[in-house]
């Protein structure tokens, strides 16, 4: 049975897939249909932070499957209630949670909440500020605040109410607030898809100063950076502030579909019965898994280890920069890291795959992207970079 051929024949081609049929995973390794073993430095786009075949995750999912697959949100379930409580306790005092199925849906919901709050307050003729090279999802609302025109083509999403400025540009930030009535700002603290671009501390300080003056709603997109990826449970913690809304997805379910947004108490009346919903949002199985994920990753010892292992990973990236003239600017935080390549990034990723290493790409095919499971250790890093060096020597 040729799985690749079947897929090409019957699945809409919206992905340029790598030539690999995956069969199973164990820890930080993936195995293809022929039993070949691959070290995973991508974790399904920063999703499987606890790796694969995790005992506690397996137990939580199987236990819940035996009890209840689904209950509509007209009813209460224990896993959803417990998860909401944990998320609020770890984010905003008196906050509220909405559960959905993905990060994109979380962005949609966050935008709806912010817009409806302003509507109820009688705010009109305001603008939304977003940033060039950002990525917030592929649905129409999320695309309208995604600052990469290559994703807009043919979808009629350009919105005159959304203004884009350069990321990390303090002067542009000040000027846009002088000229426009900005009432919503949406921001990634590390632009993942855009090329692993990290928000500078002084840029965020400027933004927060403007927030005090102008009183806008600040949405922080933690879909890729949240749940321990940066070495903190949430990226905003590293900047010592609290946003008004955060969006979550990806790693919250460690591969089980779930998304969420958490908003501050003052915004809670924006969405009331009938204004928003989700048939599968807060699914009992996904929530059972997410409870385990939060319990495991929020431990100080776990996050400290992520920060420690990140330093070694960055040292290795700097060594690559010194060895290969076509590599430059290693960057990132925690275990969301990247390095610019003058050789097409996809070609490098394919060569790495030939050496049984899985890595990602970002930016305009000019960034090698590293988002391994957070459970990697020093031995895995040594193994991975040996494989990567072999691949890079082909260029």
Judge if 117 and 34 occupy the same domain: no
Which three-class secondary structure state does DSSP give residue 8? helix
Last residue of a domain, one of 269, 297, 325: 297
Q: Which one of 266, 297, 328 terminates a domain?
A: 297
Q: Is residue 63 part of a domain?
A: no
Angstrom distances, CA of residue 267 to CA of 123, 214, 245 = 14, 17, 9
Question: Quick one: 113 and 145 in the same domain?
Answer: yes
Please tell me the total count of domains within the chain: 2
Is the pLDDT at 35 greater than 80, yes or no? yes
Is residue 241 a part of any domain in this protein? yes
Distance, in Å, from the CA atom of 370 to the CA atom of 392, rounded to the nearest integer, reads 15
Which CATH number belongs to the domain containing residue 340 in this structure?
3.90.1150.10
Residues 15 and 147 in one domain: no
CATH number of residue 97's parent domain = 3.40.640.10
Q: How far apart are CA 49 and CA 128, in angstroms?
A: 32
| pLDDT > 70 in the chain, percent | 100
Counting Cβ atoms within 10 Å, is residue 90 exposed (0-12), middle (13-18) or buried (19+)?
middle
Instruction: List % helix, strand, coil for the chain (3-state, nearest 5).
Output: 40, 20, 40
Say if residue 279 is in the same domain as residue 364. Answer: no
- Residue 237 belongs to some domain of the structure: yes
Rg (alpha carbons) of the chain, rounded to whole number: 21
Residue 66 has pLDDT above 90, yes or no: yes
Q: What is the mean pLDDT of residues 24-44?
A: 98
One domain, residues 288 and 358: no
Instruction: Measure the CA–CA gap between 129 and 270, rounded to whole angstroms.
Output: 20
| Residues whose CB is less than 8 angstroms from the CB of residue 119 and which lie 6 or more positions away in sequence, other chains included | none
In a domain, 59, yes or no: no
> In a 3-state reduction of DSSP, which class is residue 313?
helix
Please check whether residues 179 and 321 belong to one and the same domain: no
User: Using the 8-state DSSP alphabet, how is residue 200 labeled?
Assistant: P
145 & 259 share domain: yes
Token output for 389: 């060096």
pLDDT per position as a tens digit, 131-184: 999 999 999 999 999 999 999 999 999 889 999 999 999 999 999 999 999 999
**Do 137 and 200 sit in the same domain of this protein?**
yes
Residues listed for the chain: 395
Angle (deg, nearest 10), helices 378-392 and 300-323: 20
Q: Which two tokens stand for residue 15?
A: 């992905």
User: Residues 258, 337: one domain?
Assistant: no
- Over residues 108-130, the mean pLDDT reads 97
The predicted pLDDT at position 385 comes to 98
Q: Tell me the mean pLDDT in the region 42-62.
A: 98
**Domain-located, residue 62:** no
Q: Would 383 be classed as within a structural domain?
A: yes
Residue with tokens 């896993």: 79
Domain region containing 193? 68-297
- Segment (H or E) for 33: none
Whether residue 150 is contained in a domain is answered as: yes
**Phi and psi dihedrals of 104, rounded to 5?**
-55, -45
Q: What is the pLDDT of residues 270-279, one digit of tens each?
A: 999 999 999 9
Q: Does 1 score more than 80 pLDDT?
A: no
Domain boundary among 245, 265, 297: 297
Q: 288-325 pLDDT, tens per residue?
A: 999 999 999 999 999 999 999 999 999 999 999 999 99
Residue 93's pLDDT is 84
- Do residue 85 and residue 37 come from a single domain? no
Residues 304 and 286 in one domain: no
In the sheet with 327-333, reading across from the earlier edge strand, the strands are: 327-333, 336-341, 367-370, 360-362
Are residues 133 and 281 located together in one domain of the fold?
A: yes
């Amino acid at each position: 049975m040729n799985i690749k051929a079947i897929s090409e024949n019957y699945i809409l081609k919206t992905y340029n897939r790598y030539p690999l049929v995956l069969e199973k995973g164990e820890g930080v390794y993936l195995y293809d249909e022929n039993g070949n073993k691959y070290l995973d430095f991508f974790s399904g786009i920063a999703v499987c932070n606890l790796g694969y075949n995790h005992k506690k995750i397996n137990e939580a999912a199987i236990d819940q499957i035996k009890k209840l697959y689904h209950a509509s949100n007209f009813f209460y379930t224990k896993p959803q209630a417990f998860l909401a409580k944990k998320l609020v306790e770890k984010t905003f005092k008196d906050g509220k949670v909405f559960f959905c199925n993905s990060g994109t849906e979380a962005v949609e919901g966050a935008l709806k909440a912010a817009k409806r709050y302003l509507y109820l307050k009688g705010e009109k003729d305001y603008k939304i500020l977003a940033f060039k090279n950002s990525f917030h999802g592929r649905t129409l609302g999320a695309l309208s605040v995604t600052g990469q025109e290559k994703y807009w083509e043919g979808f009629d999403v350009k919105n005159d109410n959304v203004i884009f400025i350069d990321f990390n540009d303090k002067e542009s930030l000040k000027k846009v607030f002088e000229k426009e009535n900005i009432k919503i700002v949406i921001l990634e603290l590390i632009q993942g898809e855009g090329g692993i671009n990290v928000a500078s501390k002084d840029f965020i300080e400027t933004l927060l100063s403007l927030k005090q003056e102008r009183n806008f709603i600040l949405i922080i997109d933690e879909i890729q950076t949240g749940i321990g990826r940066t070495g903190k449970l949430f990226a905003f913690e590293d900047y010592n502030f609290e946003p008004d809304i955060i969006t979550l997805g990806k790693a919250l379910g460690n591969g089980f579909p779930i998304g969420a947004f958490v908003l501050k108490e003052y915004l809670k009346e924006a969405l009331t019965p009938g204004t928003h919903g989700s048939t599968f949002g807060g699914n009992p199985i996904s929530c059972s898994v997410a409870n385990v994920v939060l319990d495991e990753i929020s431990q100080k010892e776990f996050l400290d280890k992520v920060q420690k292992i990140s330093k070694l990973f960055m040292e290795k990236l700097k060594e690559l920069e010194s060895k290969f003239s076509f590599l430059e600017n290693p960057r990132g935080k925690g275990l969301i890291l990247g390095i610019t390549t003058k050789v097409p990034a996809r070609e490098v990723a394919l060569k790495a795959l030939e050496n049984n290493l899985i890595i990602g790409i970002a930016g305009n095919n000019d960034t090698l992207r590293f988002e391994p499971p957070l459970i990697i250790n020093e031995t895995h890093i040594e193994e991975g970079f040996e494989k990567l060096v072999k691949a890079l020597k082909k260029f």
